[in-house]
Amino acid sequence: MQTRIDNKKIVLGVCGGIAAYKSVELLRLLNKQGAKVRVVMTQNARSFVGPLTFEALSGYPVCFDLFQNSDSKKDSSIKHIDWARDADAVIIAPATANIIGKFANGIADDALSTFMLALTAPVLLCPSMNSQMYANKAVCRNLSMLRADGYFIVEPKAGELACGDSGPGRLPEPKDILDRLLHCLAPKDLKDKKVLVTAGPTREPIDPVRFISNPSSGKMGYSIARAAEHRGAEVVLVTGPTNLPDPVNVKVIRVETAKEMALAVFEHMEEARIIIKAAAVSDYRPVNLAKQKIKKGKDEITLFLKKNQDILKELGRKKKNQVLVGFAAETENLEINAEKKLAEKKLDIIAANLVDSLSSGFGTDTNRVTLFYKDKTKEALPEMGKDDLAHILLDRIVKVLDVSR
């Protein structure tokens, strides 16, 4: 499966901190995403994790000395320059107060700090240290200088630290560092654009403990929200109940019912330039909500349902300047149904997916959609990860924006 960092050349700089063990996991995660990762370590980092671990996992010799690699070749000083020239991005994780001070002041007295001086690629710096050290004026000053120099600083998490103190200083989880790397590498073609995304199912209560819903996990909508944020947009995500964590830098509004989703969407529609409705909204809700749990009794009972408002149709009716994108979840007649929804809801694009497959639709990490456009053209996309699909959808939306400019 192709990803956004497939074949990208990433250099992982590891410093001597207790969180160095997490950089092993980060390396594995980057490898899984198809990146080619080389590791440069400080001498102190070797006290926490051995270079052989990184060498075995990355498949490349590890650089930890100006004059010697982990494979004992004596030409590593030249490699620094090659690696710096080739790198698409660099991640320093964990970044200690010492290395931050060296980077900020242009000191080059070991393999990692020398490598950094030869670099032009973007740098993601992940400080991790005791919270008192992190609050130290010199460290704060050095970090501000690096920020001004264009470094992307990933703020440490607050929590219990290895030294027993509690506060900011923990290295973020590898998946969160990966998320910031993707942000760092993404084009910023949605900068200054407001994007409204919906995700997940809605729940229509029958009684205090039961509801009508569907198997939407929210993955598709959250992928779109994350991708839009990576591309510089200001994102509002209106989501039904899911188990997914809030995407970074996204305003998340959690709702339960279709009515609540409609209210939240209409409140934010005016300011949005792009609206993408990936939520699986219940078409019907029970007419009556029982105040108490319905008791088991008769063999058959009847539940009367009432149609919910079609939020997307209403958006199509109200829309002014927005690019409006819907999804169609179908189990049959994909093309006919999608084209009908595209026209009826006045959409610019509809992404139609068959939802009776094991690798596409509800709950899966992958999806297979056909995009239908307002101009009656269509584009069948191969099965791919929802994160990648989100970016392709945004690529197409950017084209629509360019045309309408």
Q: What are the residues binding ligand PMT (CB under 6 A)?
A: 200, 216-220, 258, 277-281, 283, 308, 310-312, 326-329, 341, 353, 355, 361-363, 367
> Is residue 15 among the annotated active site residues?
no
Cis peptide before 245 (omega within 30 of 0): no
Q: How many CA atoms lie within 13 A of 251 on its CB side?
A: 11
Give the closest residue to 41 by CA, choosing from 59, 66, 10.
66
Closer to ligand PMT by CB, 195 or 328: give it.
328
Residues 254-258: contacts with CB within 8 Å, 24+ apart? 255/202, 256/202, 256/203, 256/205, 257/202, 257/203, 257/204, 257/205, 257/282, 257/285, 258/202, 258/204, 258/282, 258/285, 258/308, 258/309, 258/311
* In the complex, minimum distance from the CB of residue 246 to ligand PMT, in angstroms, rounded to a whole number: 16
Provide the minimum distance between the beta carbon of 183 and ligand PMT in the complex, in angstroms, as a whole number: 21
Q: How near is the Cβ of 401 to ligand PMT at its closest, in Å?
A: 19
- What is the Cα–Cα distance from 66 to 275, expressed in whole angstroms? 52
- Residue 111 or 389: which CB sits closer to ligand PMT? 389
- CA gap 59, 36 in Å, rounded: 9
CB of 104 or CB of 349, closer to ligand PMT: 349
Beta carbon nearer to ligand PMT, 154 or 329? 329
- Which of the residues 15, 63, 140, 163 is marked catalytic? 163
State the minimum distance, in angstroms, from the CB of residue 151 to ligand PMT: 34
Phi, psi for residue 330 in degrees, rounded to 5 = -125, 155
Residue (71 or 344) nearer to ligand PMT, CB: 344
Q: How far is the CB of 231 from ligand PMT (least distance, A)?
A: 20
Catalytic residues: 163
